Amino acid sequence: MEKYILSLDSGTTSNRAILFDHRGEIVSVANQEFEQIYPRPGWVEHDPRAIWRTQLSVAQRVVRQKGIAAERVAAIGITNQRETTVLWNRDTGEPVCNAIVWQDRRTSGICDKLVKKGHAPLIAAKTGLVVDAYFSATKIKWILDHVAGTRKLAEEGKLAFGTVDTWLIWNFTKGALHITDVSNASRTMLFNIHTLEWDVELLGLLGIPASLLPEVRASSEVYGTTAKEFFGREIPLAGIAGDQQSALFGQMCLKEGMVKNTYGTGCFVMMNTGGKPIASKHNLLSTIAWKIGEEVTYAIEGSIFMGGATIQWLRDQLGLIRKAPDIEELAAQVEDNGGVYLVPGFVGLGAPHWDPYATGMLIGLTRGVGKSHIARAALESIAYSSMEVIGTMAEDAGIAVAELRVDGGASVNNLLMQIQADTIFRTVVRPRITETTALGAAYLAGLATGYWESTEELERQWQVERAFYPVVDHAEMEKQIALWKRAVERAMKWNAES
């Protein structure tokens, strides 16, 4: 009887469960959204119980709808929204407050203080991260400082912290396991990515008791089993990775220098840097990709705030298109951008510019410019922004990029992928299974349980759906890139005076 791997993809807006078969094919999917809670401007919360309930529900549903017995689920892998912080009472299993989501900015002030006191270089050296409210550390501190009784519970050893992976596993095992993996731990800003231990000095700096913390495990090993009541039988829990790291694994970017870009609302670029963390000179993040057996693999990461979101802006604010995929046909009506550049600084610019005062900008408008040119410039803005991050990474890591592997909602856009190949002068490869985040966690769990023999076996079964080769004239492209850079410079610091 064929067996399957159950992958749980616990995202920011929805929880998914996907059953993969031995060939890495999707056989069943279930998805459920959960509530986003915005108590104040800049605050974003989730109800941890809702995360658990919906994740359990889709996990049960995906098995049921396929009509298979739980015996045929060989293992479970978990991938999750990273950094989101849950604190709960170890005795009752009840969260002490809502989860503070990675997007939540309430702890920016705590971060400013850390930077003012000169702690940023120490934090970067130990954790690979830039001091930011994004990461879990200051969120934990905020809860201890603001939620009544939590500090006392922590001192009594009765409080547990976890990212979403930890919270789900605690619940699946009815409190038997309080664990996370290295990839999730490396996003807390409390984990030393060199020694692979929670960092006592950083814990001291933020006043966070070590008793809160989960045990840090590898990304692929049998951690334990789900309690019998959930599936009628115990199922091994055998893989954990944060969503971007899981996607890197699902893309089979297993060798140093391999890069993936996920084109969603924003774009997330990640490069495998092999056995060593890279200290970025451009404020990119250094992080742990995964640990398998005793081997630790590192990665460097850069994100672009406005990816597919720029297409949404054209759709919702300008009304140029009715639905996102229409952008391709509109942009394809013209040969080139007609001299128009769109700088996507709507929420400031990230790597490598790091300018919070930049705004969005359309430049190069002349009488002949029409909707199609703007559509084309919007697609180009996604490709150029990605190109800049990929170039910066290659420079930081001192590694030449051979090809780019792509996934995410906007990666189905063939024109965008062709433009991307042209701008980076590299082949862009789109895999057949674009659910790479879920696939990565499935692979990690399947490897731990012997469902798959080796990463070589996985590399063999990973298939290309389509490759895009650079076709544009090199010198011509260099000219366009120079114009893009000029446009970016004009948009920078626009708001600095106001």
243 close to 286: Cβ distance less than 8 angstroms: no
Stretch that binds ligand ADP, among 176-184, 412-420, 465-473, 486-494 (CB under 6 A): 412-420
State the DSSP string of 73-114.
EEEEEEEE-SS-BEEEETTT--BSSPEEPTT--TTHHHHHHH
**Amino acid type, 60:** Q
The answer for residues whose C-beta is within 8 angstroms of residue 405's C-beta and 6 or more apart is 251, 252, 253, 258, 259, 260, 261, 428, 429, 430, 431
Q: 306-325 mask for ligand ADP (x: CB under 6 A)?
A: --xx-xx-----------xx
**Amino acid type, 229:** E
Complex with ligand ADP: residue 264 or 339, whichever CB lies closer:
264
Does 331 bind ligand ADP (CB under 6 A)? Our answer is: no
Does 450 bind ligand ADP (CB under 6 A)? Our answer is: no
Q: 413 by DSSP, 3-state: which? A: coil
Residue nearest ligand ADP, CB atom distance: 409
Give the separation between CA 322 and CA 320, rounded to whole angstroms. Answer: 7
Complex with ligand ADP: residue 317 or 454, whichever CB lies closer:
317
User: How near is the Cβ of 418 to ligand ADP at its closest, in Å?
Assistant: 12
DSSP single-letter state for residue 335: S
Complex with ligand ADP: residue 98 or 303, whichever CB lies closer:
303
Q: Which of 344, 408, 431, 440 binds ligand ADP (CB under 6 A)?
A: 408
* Cα 357 to the center of its chain, rounded Å: 25
User: How near is the Cβ of 30 to ligand ADP at its closest, in Å?
Assistant: 17
Does 150 bind ligand ADP (CB under 6 A)? Our answer is: no
Stretch that binds ligand ADP, among 107-115, 180-188, 221-229, 408-416 (CB under 6 A): 408-416
Q: Which of 413, 420, 449, 480 binds ligand ADP (CB under 6 A)?
A: 413
State the DSSP string of 264-320.
SSSEEEEEEEETS----SSSPEEEEEEEETTEEEEEEEEEES-SHHHHHHHHHTS-S
Stretch that binds ligand ADP, among 112-120, 338-346, 357-365, 410-418 (CB under 6 A): 410-418
Complex with ligand ADP: residue 226 or 261, whichever CB lies closer:
261
Phi, psi at 272, each rounded to 5° = -75, 125
Does 80 bind ligand ADP (CB under 6 A)? Our answer is: no
User: How near is the Cβ of 9 to ligand ADP at its closest, in Å?
Assistant: 10
Complex with ligand ADP: residue 235 or 311, whichever CB lies closer:
311
470 close to 245: Cβ distance less than 8 angstroms: no
Q: Which of 74, 237, 327, 441 binds ligand ADP (CB under 6 A)?
A: 327
Complex with ligand ADP: residue 327 or 399, whichever CB lies closer:
327
Complex with ligand ADP: residue 328 or 388, whichever CB lies closer:
328
Complex with ligand ADP: residue 236 or 308, whichever CB lies closer:
308
Angle between helices 108-116 and 136-146 (to 10 degrees): 110
Q: Which of residues 228-267 bind ligand ADP (CB under 6 A)?
A: 264-265
The full 3-state SS of 235-259, as one line of letters, equals: CEEEEEEEHHHHHHHHCCCCCCCCE
Does 347 bind ligand ADP (CB under 6 A)? Our answer is: no
What is the enclosing helix (H) or strand (E) of 441?
A: helix 436-448
- Binding residues for ligand ADP, rule CB under 6 A, total 16
Beta-bridge partners for 464? 431
Which residues are at the interface with ligand ADP (CB under 6 A)?
A: 264-265, 308-309, 311-312, 324-325, 327-328, 408-410, 412-413, 416
